[in-house]
Amino acid sequence: MSRIDIFIDAGQGDSQNTIGGFRTGAYVVKAVSENREKIFWGIGRVRNPQAFFADAVVAALHDVFEEALDGGDRKFDIRIICAKTGWWEQLDHLRGREKKSQAAALEIDQRDSWMRLGAYEAMLGLQKPESPCGPKDYAELEALADLKRAYAKKASLTVPQPCQGIFDQGIVDEG
């Protein structure tokens, strides 16, 4: 079984401005396994900044799942670490709205991201995110916070105003 630690920082950055009810922001997520580390980023505009967390986890897990399908280990012990863990409740909130009314569920911001996160949760047996414990976790999150601020600033300069959702994403160049 492969252990994978996923460290996340996401949100608006320094600016709390909204434009037409949407907030510009970014996510940065670092996936650490025994044999590799990758840092993913994304920028965009959403109504609920917690949606950036769902997009971040999906970006990291997509890469993990691709590796598993290529013949790697198919069992994972995945630990999600972030300073704010309350965003996970949005997944339960979405399920509740899905059960009550399909039309109401369609109005959820970044619904596709939450649905993909729910699928990965079911396939990989994901547990709720954990708060950092120990100096290593805090150091990882502090480094990601600095990166997130830089990407959030980039988002405020490059994401067009009519955009809704993730506008651009990629892998941080470690060179």
Q: Which two tokens stand for residue 63?
A: 């890469």
State the total domains in the chain: 1
What distance in Å separates the CA atoms of residue 23 and residue 35, rounded to the nearest whole number?
A: 36
Along the 175 residues of the chain, how does pLDDT read in single tens digits?
688 899 999 988 666 677 777 889 999 999 998 878 999 999 998 888 888 998 999 999 888 777 666 666 667 889 999 998 888 887 777 777 766 776 666 666 677 888 888 888 888 888 999 999 999 999 999 999 999 999 999 998 999 887 888 899 999 975 4
- Residue recorded with tokens 């009550």: 100
- Domain enclosing residue 16, as ranges: 2-167
H-type helices in the chain, by residue range?
51-69, 89-100, 102-106, 111-124, 135-158
Write down the pLDDT at residue 175: 42
Contact (Cβ atoms closer than 8 angstroms) between residue 39 and residue 28: yes
Say if 20 falls within a structural domain.
Answer: yes
Say if 73 falls within a structural domain.
Answer: yes
- Residue recorded with tokens 């920082």: 9
Say if 175 falls within a structural domain.
Answer: no
Say if 48 falls within a structural domain.
Answer: yes
Say if 174 falls within a structural domain.
Answer: no
Domain CATH for 80: 3.30.420.10
Angle between helices 51-69 and 111-124 (to 10 degrees): 40
Residue 92 DSSP label: H
Distinct helix (H) and strand (E) counts, the chain? 5, 6
Say if 138 falls within a structural domain.
Answer: yes
* H or E element that contains 151: helix 135-158
Q: pTM, whole model, 2 decimals?
A: 0.85
